Amino acid sequence: MTQLKVQVNQRDQLQENHSNIDVTGIAKNGKEGLELIAELKPDLIFLDIEMPKHSGLQIMDFFNNQEVTFQIIFITAYNQYAIEAFKLSAIDYLLKPLDVEELKPALEKAIQISKQKNINTKLEDLKKAFQQLSLNKIALEIPKGFIFVSHDEVLYFEADGMYTKVHLQNNKSELICKPIKHFVDQLENNAFFYKPHRSYLINLKHIKELSKKDGYFLVMENNKTIPVSKEKKEEFIKIIQEVF
Q: Where are the domains of the chain?
A: 2-132, 137-243
CATH class of the domain at 2-132? alpha beta
Average pLDDT estimate for 122-144: 74
Length of the chain: 244
Tell me what the mean pLDDT of segment 182-186 comes to. 93
Give dist(CA 80, CA 76) in Å, integer: 10
Q: Choose which CATH entry (3.30.70.20, 3.40.50.300, 2.40.50.1020, 2.60.120.10) describes domain 137-243.
A: 2.40.50.1020
- The yes-or-no answer to whether 2-132 and 137-243 have a common fold is no
Q: Give CA–CA dist 196/91, Å, rounded.
A: 58
Sheet strands (E) in the chain: 2-5, 22-26, 44-48, 71-76, 92-95, 137-142, 145-150, 154-160, 163-168, 173-176, 193-197, 200-203, 207-211, 217-220, 225-227
pLDDT digits (tens, 9 = 90+) for 153-172: 999 999 999 999 999 999 99
pTM of the model: 0.52
Peptide bond into 143 cis (omega under 30): no
For residue 6, what pLDDT is reported? Answer: 31
How confident is the model over 214-227, as pLDDT tens digits? 789 999 999 999 99
**How far is it, in rounded angstroms, from Cα 92 to Cα 155?**
59
